[in-house]
Amino acid sequence: MKKLHPLRRVMLLTVLSASVIPGSVSAVEPEAPAGYKADTMTIANQRSVGVSAQGYALIDVTSGRILSGRKGDERMRIASLTKVMTAIVAIEHGKLSDLVKVSRNAYAKEGSSLYLKLGEEMSLENLLYGLMLRSGNDAAVAIAEHVGQSLEGFVYMMNAKAEEIGMSNTHFDNPHGLDTDTHFSSANDMAKLTAYALHNPVFRQISGTKLRKAPNPNESWDYVWRNKNKMLFLYEGADGGKTGYTKLSGRTLISSATRGTQQLAVVTLNAPSDWSDHRQLFDYGFAKYPLREIAKAGDPVENTAFVTGRDFLYPLGDEEVSGLTKSVEFVPPETPDYILGYRGKITIQLKGQSIGTIPVVEKNSPLSDVGAFAHEASPGAVPFTKHVMDVLRVVFTGNTQD
């Protein structure tokens, strides 16, 4: 193998370690779990429970696998669940320490509010807490105008992010979720978005905060915001989410919960008994589809001197484990991929359907230590060969062709 100049090796590791940015979700929707019917499902202890939601999705956050759902692709009103997209776009494109000025458009915006004053300045970070914990529509508009330079500019960014994530049944008209005929999403799309957002540490921190204080420049007292998401107080392990409601949408809710190493998220749309729905769906998901270690970084690849480049975790029911198969594909020597340290990939299939890939690298390769490789089923992963390799081919070889 051709050795890289030390400076180029540093550049390689820097680019690779920075390249695992949130990308598209490869969510595999299996057949309905055993016992699942249109209006009821059977959880591990065989107790039949009803789910009140018109549409819902249960997703494993690590893999992006949708574990259960109803009318998952049906376009519906989502109310303030919209603000999950508002928050992640602002986090990715804004500077948290920026001071944001409350414009006339943001001031006294109808619906839920932080009751910000006209001309008041607040950090983008605190506005995001107000947005997610108290669902402030005034905060949503202020954030959008600041980050997007205009309301229209920010909405364009929201829809561009939706397309990037693969939200094919979604269109945003605004950053707050007030009803319009062309503002909609689906349970599956919002589940994809939630899994994507939960891979961002800033979003995770804000979404899971129960109580937040923020300075109030106009009064002697501080703002104090208690999270409206009651799941944080009702369910052990609950660690994030967003509430929503309008007369047309009904009650909408996103929540996430972690048990051991597994994090699940639930989206319910038009759900009169949403708190109960979420508790039951979490219990079902954790019991039925535990997150299993399919491969571990450094595992030897049979009949080679190579190893796997990273862990691969996936939620599987007991009856599904026997349906797993793996196949290995190697890259030829002297190719750009090979020179950059990539030896091939392992494709993992469940009942003949690909659920993700993991890289094959040299034993003790630095590539397996920098987190450069993420399996393609992960909502927080960019497929290695698609994005990173295209850039590095040009940087190190000058070859722009695949």
State the catalytic residues.
Answer: 80, 83, 135
Annotate 99-136 with DSSP letters as a single string. EEE--TTTTT-SSS---PPTT-EEEHHHHHHHHHHH--
- Residue 70, Cβ neighbours under 10 Å: how many? 20
Separation CA 142–CA 155 (nearest Å): 13
Count CB-CB contacts under 10 A for residue 256: 28
293: Cβ–Cβ under 8 A, 6 or more apart, which residues? 311, 312, 313
Q: Rounded to whole angstroms, how far apart are CA atoms 387 and 268? A: 33
- Tell me which residue of 264, 199, 253, 260 sits closest to 229, measured CA to CA: 253
Structural tokens at position 313: 């975790």
Determine whether 203 is exposed, middle or buried from the number of CB atoms within 10 Å of its CB (0-12, 13-18, 19+). buried
Token pair listed for 376: 């393609």
